[in-house]
A and B are shown apart, each in its own frame.
Chain A
């Protein structure tokens, strides 16, 4: 039994099932991120944990206690929303202490806790201001302060950074990570931003179509995606997925694919791979952009770097890296090159492909097979 257990939980609105049977168990102090595109069921699941949505079937347990039928206020949870939802008629100190007041916490205790949280979040000088006098980042800090001050069992964050500009979002992401490391609180965090998911979480549940597609650590999700949806959704630029066929060469498995002009390319898998016995099988080969580099940028520790010459379609300088696009298996394939590599569109360039990082999917089921 975990600290927070979601057991076979489902949610339907009439005949429409928006969350299929879901099982997730997290330990105290974990940072679980629910990530997926709009409409995947992630916010519904968060609202079910909060008690803002009823569970249609199954159970949600916090510290072993079933939450079915328990009001949101009695679950000892706190929630931070994308739109902050600060009370505009109260100043910052009143906003932070309001929940404690409603729970009958005596005034001296409230004042002590507000001061403590204000120091933690560096909002001490804002305590007398109304929300309308605060910037977006300051409002989000106050919203977090309001959650922190109640010492809840579980913090729930519903896309808390989506309203902030790009730079502030990165800053606040770091702040949230620091807070979690310092306070060791249990957090369930909803986002559609896969970078937020990878950087913040101890575990990620990738959701799509009301199903949890994969539950795992950020490294598991990134390196060994369970299916093509997870492979394509997590990572930026996303994993390259292109058609290939398994063949044998010198006693080991290779992936055979084609350049844009139709000529064949052979990419040997590392020895002893799972595909050695599946010669002739059609696959979708998955390679992250960082597994496709210029020759000097290739992983020197890998024993499966294979160089393929292919025409460059587009180059996209991105400051620290240059993304270089070519065609393999009928798809655009993006490599991550060092920024100072001299490469231009139209040039036939050697791409160094690290097959130690390759994964393979079944084209029909879209599930990972190697």
Chain B
């Protein structure tokens, strides 16, 4: 799951947008290490 700082920064609770972010992250190849470095929590799940 994408979580933590990312959603804190996002400060919005729009499930549709969040869903699209997850999809984008899967396409953009987020690795756990890269995710942590960029404040995305545990990667794309």
Q: Residues on A close to B: CB < 8 A?
A: 47, 50-52, 71-74, 77-79, 81-85, 87-90, 98-99, 101-103
Within 8 A of A (CB), among B3-45: 5-6, 9-12, 14, 16-17, 20-21, 23-24, 26-31, 34, 38-39
A50 with B9, Cβ < 8 A, contacts A83-B16, A89-B39, A101-B34 known: no
How long is the Cα–Cα vector from A101 to B31 in the complex, in angstroms? 11
B9 pairs with A89, CB closer than 8 A: yes
How long is the Cα–Cα vector from A48 to B25 in the complex, in angstroms? 16
A79 with B24, Cβ < 8 A, contacts A87-B6, A88-B10, A89-B5 known: yes
- Select one of B5, B6, B11, B17 contacting A83, CB under 8 A: B17
B26 pairs with A52, CB closer than 8 A: yes
B20, closest chain A residue (CB): A85
Please, how many residues of chain B have a CB less than 8 angstroms from a CB on the other chain?
22
How long is the Cα–Cα vector from A101 to B29 in the complex, in angstroms? 10
A72 pairs with B26, CB closer than 8 A: yes
How long is the Cα–Cα vector from A99 to B14 in the complex, in angstroms? 23
- Select one of B9, B29, B39 contacting A102, CB under 8 A: B29
**What are some 11 contacts across the A-B interface (CB < 8 A)?**
A51-B26, A52-B26, A52-B27, A72-B26, A72-B27, A73-B27, A82-B20, A85-B23, A87-B6, A89-B9, A99-B27
A77, closest chain B residue (CB): B27
